[in-house]
Each structure stands twice: as structure tokens, then as C-alpha cells.
Amino acid sequence: MVMSASPCRSLCRSTPRAAERAQHPRIPRTTHHVRLCHHRRRPHDGSKEAAPVDRYAPGRSRRCGAALSASARARRESGAPGCRGGTRGSRHAHCRDLLVELTGAADALVVNNAAGALLLALSALARGGEAVVSRGELVEIGGSFRIPDIMARSGAKLVEVGTTNRTHPADYDRALTPDSKILLKVHRSNFQVTGFTADVAVVELAEMAHARGLACVYDLGSGLLINLSAWGLSGEPTVSEGVAAGADLVVFSGDKLLGGPQAGILVGTEKAIAACRADPIARAVRADKLTLAALEATLALYRDHTTARREIPVLRMLTEDLGSVKRRATAVLQGVGDKAELVEGDSEVGGGSFPGAKLKTWLVGIKHPAPDTFVTQLRSHDPPIIARVAGSRVLLDARTIFPEQVETVVAALKADG
């Protein structure tokens, strides 16, 4: 995959370099990055790891050109003036309106990351009381952050119910006390539990909570706004489905499957969002204007799903037909020559989304006497190429190479091969 110097579509047209440097100051001024698989913070030894498609090098979804341009414009604006009378307005208003429109929620709030969003939700709705959650949903997210740790910081008391593989409605019912404040459901977006399993659907959990005067909080994780089952990707609930199921709050990421900047998003009822907005933690985890501008530009693309799939890199990669992928792989092959071959393979979604799901893809395989060394050389190239190793071959996933990046990839392979 092509790895951009900023979290946007690689080598996108009209890329404002000032915004790139603002987002990633450690990246040199003149450097663009070409990325052929997910970086995943691997050791610098050409490790043999699969190639997820949904997040760019430092661990975030690559942003579309519209999002990066919006961030660049926001950098030049010093305040948040209102449209009338020059009074100060809310930076959150446009994102809030788009989220309400796209998800069907009554209100919305954007903070700086999903862990912060969950911390805020727990603090606002469960501080000083009990939060009841299935034992099988006490997940660990990136950086060793765990749901129980976040809950402890929020001031809510964790009440575990059920077992690792099976939890039933009666388990929640037996755990409720006068101190219970919320029922929490955490979507297992980064792992699978298969076999002899059972859990409680969010719609049933919401009904149970409301019947007892409690709130239902749904930590959805990846923030999918478009159902991707038509492209062979199922099992990942959309945000609008969580809202329609009756959750008081749905919490999710602004990057990952949504494809925007790193952010945490809360959508839900007016009462629940108002409680979050009034909590002191909201100020501590608020999103900056660059994030809000990039998120607004990304969300606006979702008004037309065809446009979103074309312009948002992660959706483009996940929904592209195999024929187009093969044509791009063939173009790289023709540019490199006899030392390369086409290989049928699979792309993993990765990034804590669609665990276990794979998409058919075409790989460009290059046999090399020292593949680990070759991979390291590619990563040191200007721009860097991040590939993976299988046996004696270095593999490049054509699904993660955009058409405008083919020449860059070919030039790098020729230079380092």
C-alpha cells in the first residue's frame, strides 16, 4: 500500500503539505510514503506478517483528499465565528449535524479518541454507580488499554456477568441492584469467539435497561457507516443499527472503518449526549479544530455512498472488484519485468475490524535470495515501500496500491531489487 506522509489518500491530488507537516511533524518536508501493507508497528526486520488494508502507517485510516484539505483550511482559521453577527460559534455544530443525519441519532458529540469517548460516557452516565457488562466483552484494545481499566478511571464500578463464551439476559437481570446505572455492551471488533457461544443482542439489552430506568451504552468500536455485506464483509454492525436498536449512547472511532481522522464519536439520545457534554471530562478529551474539519469533510462524503466508496481510501480498498485489482497488479508486473509474478492471495481487513475476514486479492511476488533484507531496503527507500515476506518471496498487495501509485512502486522495486 502507498503510505502517505499524512493520513490521507496516498499521493492524492492537491495535497497541502502544510497540513501534512502539522499532522506528522516528524516526517521530513519532502517525503511521501508508499505503503503496500499495514505497518502495525513491526520490528525493522522484515517480519512475516499478513497485510491488512484498512489503516495507514502510524495506525490510523488514511484520510481522503477532502479531509486533508479541510484540515489545511482549519489551520488558517484562528477561531470559530458564528455566521451572524461575528459571535463565536461551535466548532462541533457541522459534525454534529452530519452525524445526526447519517446515523439517525438525536444528538452527537466528537472527542479526541474512542477510548476517551468511552471514558466520558461511563463518567457521565455511571460515575458512582455500577456498570454491568458481559465477561466475554471485557476486551483489550490497542496499547494494552482494557475496558476494566477505563471503567475504573471513570468512577464507575464494574459488574461482570456471564462467562467468557456465553452470557444470557438472566445474567444481567440477576446482577442488577439499586446502584446499577448502565448496561454496557462492547462489540468484539478485534477478535472472534466461535463455537459454543451466546450473547445478548443490543436491542434486548436496551429494552432491559429502559424497563428498569437504566441507560444502555454500546461501544461499537470501528464506526462502520455503510453495510458492506454486498462485498462479502458481514458481521460488523453499523452505527445506525446500534442507534435503531435503542442504545442511549453508541461509541465508535472516527478512523478505522469510518475512514476519517483519529477521533472518538458518541451518538445517541439528547439526554445522554447532554450529560456527556456537561461532564468535565468532555473538556479534557475534546477534539481540536483540525480533527473536526477533517471529520466533517469525511462525513459529508457519506451523503452519497457511491462517492464515499470512491473517495474514502479504506472503503475504496474494501469494495474494489477483483478485476480492477488484477489489472493494477499486472501493471506493476509489467513494469518490474521477469523477476516478478502474479500470485493469488487474500487481504485481511485488519485494524481491529472484521476479525477473520479476508478479501480475495492479487499479489505481486518477487523472488529474492534475501527477502528480509529486501523488505528492509524497501522500507528505507524514498518513498518507503512496506511489503511482507512469504517464504523466499516479497509480496505486494495490489488492493492497497492506487492507480496513481503504480509508477512510484515500480520505480522503487527496480531501484532496490
C-alpha cell at 259: 475512514
pLDDT digits 0-9 by tens, 399-409: 999 999 999 99
pLDDT score, position 193 = 80
pLDDT score, position 338 = 84
Which CATH number does the domain 71-309 belong to among 3.30.479.10, 3.40.50.410, 3.40.640.10, 3.40.50.150? 3.40.640.10
Residue 369 has pLDDT above 70, yes or no: yes
Label residue 382 by pLDDT band (50, 70, 90): confident
Residue 160 has pLDDT above 60, yes or no: yes
Label residue 116 by pLDDT band (50, 70, 90): very high
Residue 411 has pLDDT above 80, yes or no: yes
pLDDT score, position 8 = 35
Label residue 102 by pLDDT band (50, 70, 90): very high
Residue 57 has pLDDT above 90, yes or no: no
Mean pLDDT of 12-34: 36
Lowest mean pLDDT among 11-25, 169-183, 208-222, 375-389: 11-25
Mean pLDDT of 111-118: 96
pLDDT score, position 335 = 93
Mean pLDDT of 92-110: 97
- DSSP per position, 105-155: -SEEEEES-HHHHHHHHHHHHHTTSEEEEEGGG--B-GGG-BHHHHHHHHT
13 vs 221, residue with greater confidence: 221
pLDDT score, position 385 = 86
pLDDT digits 0-9 by tens, 296-351: 999 999 999 999 999 999 999 999 999 999 999 999 999 998 889 999 999 988 76
Nearest to 133 by CA among 153, 121, 147: 147
20 vs 262, residue with greater confidence: 262
Share of the chain above pLDDT 90, in %: 64
102 vs 6, residue with greater confidence: 102
Residue 291 has pLDDT above 50, yes or no: yes
Backbone angles phi, psi at 109, to 5 degrees: -145, 140
Mean pLDDT across the chain: 83
Mean pLDDT of 350-364: 86
CA-CA distances (angstroms) from residue 141 to 79, 187, 285, 350? 34, 12, 18, 13
pLDDT score, position 28 = 35
**CB of 133 within 8 A of CB of 161?**
yes
Residue 273 has pLDDT above 90, yes or no: yes
Q: How far apart are CA 165 and CA 287, in angstroms?
A: 36
pLDDT score, position 16 = 38
CA-CA distances (angstroms) from residue 233 to 181, 183, 258, 339? 35, 28, 15, 34
Residue 45 has pLDDT above 70, yes or no: no
Label residue 73 by pLDDT band (50, 70, 90): low
**CB of 184 within 8 A of CB of 131?**
yes
**71-309 has the same fold as 17-63+313-416:** no
Label residue 22 by pLDDT band (50, 70, 90): very low
Architecture of domain 17-63+313-416: Alpha-Beta Complex (3.90)
Label residue 290 by pLDDT band (50, 70, 90): very high
Mean pLDDT of 346-369: 87
pLDDT digits 0-9 by tens, 125-142: 999 999 999 999 998 876
Share of the chain above pLDDT 70, in %: 78
* Domain parsing of the chain, residue ranges: 17-63+313-416, 71-309
pLDDT score, position 80 = 52
**CB of 176 within 8 A of CB of 209?**
no
Residue 117 has pLDDT above 90, yes or no: yes
C-alpha cell at 153: 478511571
C-alpha cell at 399: 488492493
Mean pLDDT of 139-150: 83
